[in-house]
């Protein structure tokens, strides 16, 4: 019998909503879970609480996409105790659901897990996260790898960007903030001198990785990026080219423990998941067209 029942946790978020849409287009039976602020009992919708997953125990779940955890360094800096609790307890509960359901688990890790290790970052490296966000992702990876009754794939996503990201507001990537500012003829703000390096991967490629991880026998962690280095100054240049503008950025002091280089080694992504990501210029074009079409 075909295994077709999917649970998407974080189904209203940037990546989770895109995964849900893709799975539905492929005619999978999709159940979803996300926090609902209008309810008196959020514990039924927040994976931090065991009660949120109990009702899925009899749903014959085959695949779990857990994209309902805190997603940025900024979130952790603003409320570290809450973010750590939500990330770790939530992941523990999701692992339990996967074990009892005998479901494959696909979950997001982060390029932040590497800290300031030499680039390109390879999955075989001994990671050294230099912030709480990366540390919690590292803990989740170890929890998944030590759960021998659950087949899982952790996606170490680098700088994801694209349609739907605007819903993240201030938590969105620098790509969105730079593009949005420059489309409105505002000078983008860069922390530091603009020579920090990033690997910017378009949302469609992130979703491709998550969906392809369903069917592969690969079970571990895998980078999701492009393998191409762009400095912030390069990103500004690419956006100016896409917009046919010549806007100069504003430079301000960068915070402590700031990751200067984050670029993926994509060997495993190509080998095991078969992803051939699009370039930044094409991604920016698609994102620009989306933002123009979806202006409020």
Q: Say if residues 235 and 280 touch (Cβ distance below 8 Å).
A: yes
pLDDT value at position 212?
A: 94
pLDDT value at position 1?
A: 40
Q: Which domain covers residue 260, as residue numbers? A: 5-293
pLDDT value at position 37?
A: 58
SS3 66: strand
Q: What's the CA gap between 196 and 259, in Å, rounded?
A: 8
What are the pLDDT digits (tens) for 159-193? 999 999 998 999 999 999 999 999 999 999 999 99
pLDDT value at position 36?
A: 63
Residue 160 is part of a domain; what is its CATH number? 3.40.50.720
pLDDT value at position 18?
A: 97
pLDDT value at position 88?
A: 96
* Count of domains for the chain: 1
Model pTM score:
0.94
| Per-residue model confidence as pLDDT tens for the chain (296 residues) | 456 899 999 999 999 999 999 999 999 999 998 876 555 566 667 888 888 888 899 999 999 999 998 888 889 989 999 999 999 999 999 999 999 999 999 999 999 999 999 999 999 999 999 999 999 999 999 999 999 899 999 999 999 999 999 989 999 999 999 999 999 999 999 999 999 999 999 999 999 999 999 988 777 899 999 999 999 999 999 999 999 999 999 999 987 777 888 999 999 999 999 999 999 999 999 999 999 998 75
Rg (CA), the chain: 19
pLDDT value at position 296?
A: 56
CA-based nearest residue to 235, from 198, 202, 203 = 198
User: For 155, phi and psi rounded to 5 degrees?
Assistant: -100, 110
């Amino acid at each position: 019998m075909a295994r077709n029942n999917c649970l998407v946790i974080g189904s209203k978020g940037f990546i989770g909503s895109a995964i849900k849409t893709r799975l539905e287009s492929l005619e999978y039976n999709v159940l979803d879970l996300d926090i609902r602020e209008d309810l008196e009992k959020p514990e039924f919708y927040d994976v931090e609480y065991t009660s949120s997953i109990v009702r899925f125990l009899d749903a014959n779940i085959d695949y779990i996409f857990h994209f309902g955890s805190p997603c940025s360094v900024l979130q952790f800096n603003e409320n570290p105790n809450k973010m750590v609790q939500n990330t770790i307890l939530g992941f523990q509960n999701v692992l339990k659901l996967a074990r009892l359901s005998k479901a494959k688990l696909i979950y997001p890790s982060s390029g932040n897990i590497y800290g300031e290790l030499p680039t390109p970052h390879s999955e075989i490296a001994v990671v050294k996260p230099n912030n709480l966000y990366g540390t919690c992702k590292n803990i989740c990876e170890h929890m998944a790898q030590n759960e021998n009754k659950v087949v899982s794939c952790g996606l170490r996503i680098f700088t994801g960007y694209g349609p739907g990201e605007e819903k993240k507001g201030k938590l969105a990537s620098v790509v969105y903030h730079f593009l949005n500012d420059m489309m409105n003829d505002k000078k983008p703000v860069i922390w530091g001198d603009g020579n920090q390096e990033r690997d910017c991967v378009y949302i469609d490629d992130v979703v491709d990785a998550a969906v392809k991880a369903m069917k592969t026998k690969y079970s571990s962690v895998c980078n999701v990026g492009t393998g191409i280095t762009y400095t912030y100054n390069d990103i500004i240049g690419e956006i100016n080219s896409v917009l046919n503008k010549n806007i100069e950025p504003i430079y301000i002091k960068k915070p402590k423990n700031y990751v200067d280089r984050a670029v993926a080694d994509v060997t495993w992504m190509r080998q095991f998941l078969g992803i051939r990501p699009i370039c930044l210029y094409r991604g920016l074009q698609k994102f620009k067209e989306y933002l123009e079409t979806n202006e409020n």
